[in-house]
């Protein structure tokens, strides 16, 4: 049985187009692999706290020197990282808001990037410590951005996850969703075909 970590970040919850693409991907993975086990992390419904000085300080404090509040912060971060480590596949729904990723997803990223835990620095540069596994990134956008300088999402996600050791990335784009019903329908159909191909 495949263990799937599902990460969504749409402010519209399960009605968001990126969340719908996630559902479609899960349906396709079930067809391909049979029964799957899913762990859901809805970053809009249950936001990860944004990084501040006290939370960052907790990450920098040694285990023997942490107070109770700092240990809670670290335990929470550890739980997010453990969800990744326990997953065979990661499915991530990423809407585009003002050219970037949702702030909730950025906060999540800030809590899984831990020196000595998910990456380490060496004399030859940083090394990711997470074991690689497939990551499907379902990107829903109102306009057309893929392959243009305005697509800040793709290089950022690729760089960040690669920094942690996750390089088996598969991007699916549904673009032009706010450019009329015909364009929206065409984009969603194309994204569906891409999902079928990638998960076969």
Instruction: Quickly list DSSP for 90-148.
Output: EEEEEE-BTTB--HHHHHHHHHH--BTTTEEEETTEEEE-SPP--EEEEEE-SS--TTS
Return the pLDDT at 185.
96
CA angle centred on 107, ends 64 and 55, rounded to 5°? 25
Return the pLDDT at 200.
83
pLDDT category, 82, cuts 50, 70, 90?
very high
Q: Is the pLDDT of residue 36 over 80?
A: yes
97 known member of a binding site:
yes
Mean pLDDT of 120-138: 96
Return the pLDDT at 23.
97
Return the pLDDT at 27.
95
Mean pLDDT of 21-44: 95
96 known member of a binding site:
yes
Percent of the chain with pLDDT over 90: 96
Percent of the chain with pLDDT over 70: 100
Q: Is the pLDDT of residue 168 over 80?
A: yes
Q: What is the mean pLDDT of the chain?
A: 96
Dihedral angle sign, alpha carbons of residues 143, 10, 128, 58 = positive
92 known member of a binding site:
no
Domains by residue range for the chain, with CATH: 2-199 (3.40.50.360)
Q: Is the pLDDT of residue 1 over 90?
A: no
Element housing 4 (H / E): strand 2-8
3-state secondary structure of 177: coil
Residue holding tokens 């392959």? Answer: 147
DSSP assigned state of 46:
S
Q: Is the pLDDT of residue 165 over 80?
A: yes
Mean pLDDT of 39-66: 96
Phi and psi at residue 98, to the nearest 5°: 50, 50
Order the strands of the 169-174 sheet from edge to edge: 36-42, 2-8, 89-95, 135-140, 169-174
19 known member of a binding site:
no
136 known member of a binding site:
no
């Amino acid at each position: 049985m495949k263990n799937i970590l599902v990460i969504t970040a749409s402010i519209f919850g399960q009605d968001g187009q990126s969340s719908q693409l996630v559902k479609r991907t899960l349906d396709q993975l079930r067809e391909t692999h049979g029964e799957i086990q899913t762990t859901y992390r809805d970053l809009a419904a249950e936001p990860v706290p944004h990084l501040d000085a006290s939370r960052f300080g907790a990450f920098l404090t040694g285990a023997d020197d942490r107070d109770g509040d700092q240990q809670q912060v670290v335990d929470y971060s550890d739980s997010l990282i453990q969800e990744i480590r326990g997953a065979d596949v990661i499915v991530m729904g990423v809407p585009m808001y003002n050219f970037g990723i949702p702030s909730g997803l950025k906060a999540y990223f800030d809590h899984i990037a831990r020196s000595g835990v998910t990456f380490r620095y060496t004399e030859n540069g940083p090394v990711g410590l997470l074991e690689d596994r497939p990551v499907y990134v379902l990107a829903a956008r109102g306009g057309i951005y893929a392959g243009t300088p305005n697509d800040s999402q793709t290089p950022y996600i690729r760089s960040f996850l690669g920094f942690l050791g996750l390089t088996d990335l598969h991007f699916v784009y549904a673009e032009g969703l706010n450019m009329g019903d015909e364009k929206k329908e065409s984009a969603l159909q194309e994204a569906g075909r891409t999902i079928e191909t990638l998960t076969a």
